[in-house]
């Protein structure tokens, strides 16, 4: 029987995993600069956490979760996103009591959604996300957005488009909700069955419907921005001022509603302008979720964050022909001549590696010429050649593959040279 990888997942082979390490290193580095600390939460949680946190009426909860019962009869779900878990952890670990507020956290890890796979949409994908919890200062909104923009920019991505919106506070949303119901109700039968249900459960979700996207009532739907309370409007305007001061260009789109229920106030996405990849051009999404921690049993806590998938980032980099600096080379490759020398290879390799030298050797009984070829292919800077004579004298032939220069020297001396070369 032949096995196939599950639909919507991928193997990241060595050639590509080097790229992954570069973008992950960029995320870690940037978060250190912005003083966000890493959090690692489990890959599965109680199903109820997502039903409550992400929202019963969202596509994620209704259609996309990998839910299973464990042997103890508990309903568990592979996490479809990271925010609910971080909010759960914030409440559970009483982070509101920590001296430094807001608590600034980030994560990099796999998420799972049963979606229809297409370019840029996977069933398992890796999100890099940040969450700043405990502050309702519009300056932290601008910081979180700036971090996301910087991440892409420092990796060299061009044509980034930042779109922002405000979903308002509870009063704003209640007023908007009533307006939406009045707008759609008379002609709701022209919409899909999902939207007909959404009219009752969560009319905002209608604006997010992929099927009815082109219905004429969509474009004329009441804008949340016309229903913002005075406080929400002032907050949103502050966020914009901070972005302007940071010289981060943005556009406001009142149709940006986001697909998860915990959002309120600031919402944002970063898209790729011009030629994207397939139908998907959204690289990143985020927003405020004041009230989420409380909904999950914690104290009243404001929060804001974003998440982006590394898959979409890597696709965008590839589309734009941006090559990341992959450095995969060996300090040295050990070449043996004859059976006796070969039998000494494992101990010598072990010793070299113990000295911090990146080195490999032959395990395929290759002829000497083929061993030299392997050294070349693997980008070795030096070869170490070990034959009967060298064994007898306690030496090796150290050859610099770039210059062609070589010398027969004691093993200790070769080690020192390799180490010095490394440091150079």
- Residues annotated within a binding site: 81-83, 113, 127, 131, 258, 262-263
Shortest distance in whole angstroms from residue 424 CB to ligand HAM: 40
Please report, in angstroms and rounded to a whole number, the separation of the first and last CA atoms in the chain.
Answer: 52
CB 256 within 8 A of CB 164: yes
Kindly tell me which residue out of 307, 330, 352, 374 binds ligand HAM, with binding defined by CB under 6 A.
Answer: 307
Kindly tell me which residue out of 173, 205, 312, 399 binds ligand HAM, with binding defined by CB under 6 A.
Answer: 312
Kindly tell me which residue out of 115, 171, 253, 421 binds ligand HAM, with binding defined by CB under 6 A.
Answer: 115
Which CB, 269 or 362, lies closer to ligand HAM?
Answer: 269
DSSP label at residue 59 = H
The reply on whether position 122 binds ligand HAM by CB under 6 A is: yes
The reply on whether position 55 binds ligand HAM by CB under 6 A is: no
Kindly tell me which residue out of 78, 95, 160, 284 binds ligand HAM, with binding defined by CB under 6 A.
Answer: 284
Number of residues in contact with ligand HAM under rule CB under 6 A: 28
Which CB, 225 or 304, lies closer to ligand HAM?
Answer: 304
Kindly tell me which residue out of 109, 110, 159, 259 binds ligand HAM, with binding defined by CB under 6 A.
Answer: 259
Each residue 70-109 as x (binds ligand HAM by CB under 6 A) or -, in order, gives -----------xxx--------------------------
Which CB, 23 or 308, lies closer to ligand HAM?
Answer: 308
Kindly tell me which residue out of 272, 305, 357, 390 binds ligand HAM, with binding defined by CB under 6 A.
Answer: 305
Residue 52 to residue 196: CA distance in whole angstroms: 22
Which CB, 117 or 387, lies closer to ligand HAM?
Answer: 117
The reply on whether position 306 binds ligand HAM by CB under 6 A is: yes
Shortest distance in whole angstroms from residue 52 CB to ligand HAM: 14
The footprint of ligand HAM on residues 370-399 (CB under 6 A) is: none
Kindly tell me which residue out of 58, 85, 89, 127 binds ligand HAM, with binding defined by CB under 6 A.
Answer: 127
Kindly tell me which residue out of 36, 90, 125, 191 binds ligand HAM, with binding defined by CB under 6 A.
Answer: 125
The reply on whether position 311 binds ligand HAM by CB under 6 A is: yes
Which CB, 172 or 265, lies closer to ligand HAM?
Answer: 265
Stretch that binds ligand HAM, among 34-42, 45-53, 90-98, 276-284 (CB under 6 A): 276-284
**What 3 state SS string does the chain have?**
CCCCCCCCCCCCCHHHHHHHHHHHHHHHHHHHHCCCEECCCCCEEEHHHHHHHCCCCCHHHHHCCEEEECCCCCEEEECCCCHHHHHHHHHHCCHHHCCCCCEEEEEEEEEECCCCCECCECCEEEEEEEEEECCCCHHHHHHHHHHHHHHHHHCCCCCEEEEEEECCCHHHHHHHHHHHHHHHHHHHHHCCHHHHHHHHHCHHHHHHCCCCCCCHHHHCCCCHHHHCCHHHHHHHHHHHHHHHHCCCCCEECCCCCCCCCCCEEEEEEEEECCCCECCECEEEEEEECCCHHHHCCCCCCCEEEEEEEHHHHHHHHHHCCCCCCCCCCEEEEEEECCHHHHHHHHHHHHHHHHCCCCEEECCCCCCHHHHHHHHHHCCEEEEEEECHHHHHHCEEEEEECCCCCEEEEEHHHHHHHHHHHHHC
The reply on whether position 143 binds ligand HAM by CB under 6 A is: no
Residue 130 to residue 39: CA distance in whole angstroms: 10
The reply on whether position 113 binds ligand HAM by CB under 6 A is: yes
**Annotated binding-site ranges for L-histidine:** 81-83, 113, 127, 131, 258, 262-263
Nearest to 130 by CA among 4, 8, 289: 289
Shortest distance in whole angstroms from residue 96 CB to ligand HAM: 18
Binding site for ligand HAM (CB under 6 A): 81-83, 113, 115, 120-122, 125, 127, 129, 131, 259-260, 282-287, 289, 305-309, 311-312
């Amino acid at each position: 029987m032949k096995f196939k990888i599950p639909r919507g997942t991928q193997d990241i082979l060595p050639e590509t995993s080097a790229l992954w390490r570069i973008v992950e290193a960029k995320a870690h580095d940037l978060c250190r600069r912005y003083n966000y600390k890493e959090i690692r939460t489990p890959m599965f949680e109680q199903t109820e956490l997502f039903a409550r946190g992400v929202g019963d009426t969202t596509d994620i909860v209704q259609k996309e979760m990998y839910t299973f019962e464990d042997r103890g009869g508990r309903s568990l779900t592979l996490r479809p996103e990271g925010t609910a878990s971080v909010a759960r952890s914030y409440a559970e670990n009483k982070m509101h009591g920590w001296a430094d507020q807001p608590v600034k956290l980030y994560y990099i890890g796999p998420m799972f959604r049963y979606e229809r796979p297409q370019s840029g949409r996977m069933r398992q994908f890796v999100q890099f996300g940040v969450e700043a919890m405990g502050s309702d200062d519009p300056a932290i909104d601008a910081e979180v957005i700036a971090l996301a923009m910087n991440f892409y920019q420092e990796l060299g991505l061009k044509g980034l488009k930042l779109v922002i919106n405000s979903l308002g506070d509870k009063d704003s949303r209640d007023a908007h909700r009533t307006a939406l119901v009045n707008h759609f109700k008379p002609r709701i039968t022209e919409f899909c069955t999902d939207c007909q249900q959404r009219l009752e459960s969560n009319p905002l979700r209608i604006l997010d419907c992929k099927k009815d996207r082109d219905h004429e009532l969509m474009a004329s739907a009441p804008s949340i921005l016309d229903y913002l309370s005075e406080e929400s409007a002032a907050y949103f305007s502050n966020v914009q001022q901070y972005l302007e001061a940071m010289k981060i260009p943005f556009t406001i789109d009142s149709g940006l509603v986001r697909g998860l229920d915990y959002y309120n106030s600031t919402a944002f996405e970063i898209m790729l302008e011009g030629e994207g990849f397939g139908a998907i051009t959204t690289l990143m999404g985020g927003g405020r979720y004041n009230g989420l921690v409380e909904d999950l049993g914690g104290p009243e806590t404001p929060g804001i964050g974003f998440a982006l998938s590394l898959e979409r980032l890597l696709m965008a980099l590839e589309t734009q022909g941006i090559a990341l600096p992959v450095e995969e080379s060996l300090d040295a490759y050990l070449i043996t001549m004859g059976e006796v020398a070969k039998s000494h290879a494992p101990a010598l390799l072990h010793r070299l590696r113990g000295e911090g030298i990146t080195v490999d050797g032959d395990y395929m009984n290759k002829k000497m010429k083929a061993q030299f070829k392997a050294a070349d292919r693997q980008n070795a800077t030096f070869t170490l050649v070990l034959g009967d004579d060298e064994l007898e004298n306690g030496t090796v032939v150290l050859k610099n593959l770039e210059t062609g220069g070589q010398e027969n020297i004691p093993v200790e001396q070769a080690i020192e040279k390799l180490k010095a070369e490394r440091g150079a």
